[in-house]
Amino acid sequence: MNNLQNDIISDKIEKVNIDDKLFLNTYNTDTIAHLLIKDENVCEKCIEKACTYFCPARVYEYKDEKIVLGYEGCLECGACRIACPHSNIDWNYPRGGFGVQFRLA
């Protein structure tokens, strides 16, 4: 490939910022949480606070000495139910008609 072809190909590749993509999603928020922490005492003793790192939507936040759960912004990927080292997260799909609606652009 010559330099002109490389320039044309590189012009077509668009860099994507994940936060920009997440901003396109819309949510129909339920009043009933589909994510629950089973035992807050387990979270208090957890050293890693891994849930604050592996959730791509940043649903879990360590604030004021406890884990705060913001289920409203959940992407429904299920990473938390798998990655919590203590299996302390009860994850379910939201009720029908509620949850994230992905917008791909």
pLDDT at 9: 55
Beta-ladder partners of 69:
60
Q: How far apart are CA 63 and CA 59, in angstroms?
A: 12
Q: What is the pLDDT along the chain (105 residues), one digit of tens a residue?
A: 565 555 555 556 667 776 666 677 788 889 999 999 999 999 999 999 999 999 988 999 999 989 999 999 898 889 998 989 999 999 999 998 898 887 766
- State how far the Cα of 54 lies from the Cα of 88, in Å rounded to an integer: 14
CB 43 within 8 Å of CB 67: yes
For residue 47, give both structure tokens: 């050293």
| CATH-assigned architecture of domain 16-101 | 2-Layer Sandwich (3.30)
Domains of the chain by residue range: 16-101
The encoded tokens of residue 25 equal 């999603």
DSSP tag of 35: E
**Residue whose token pair is 């592996």:** 54
Q: Count CB-CB contacts under 10 A for residue 60.
A: 24
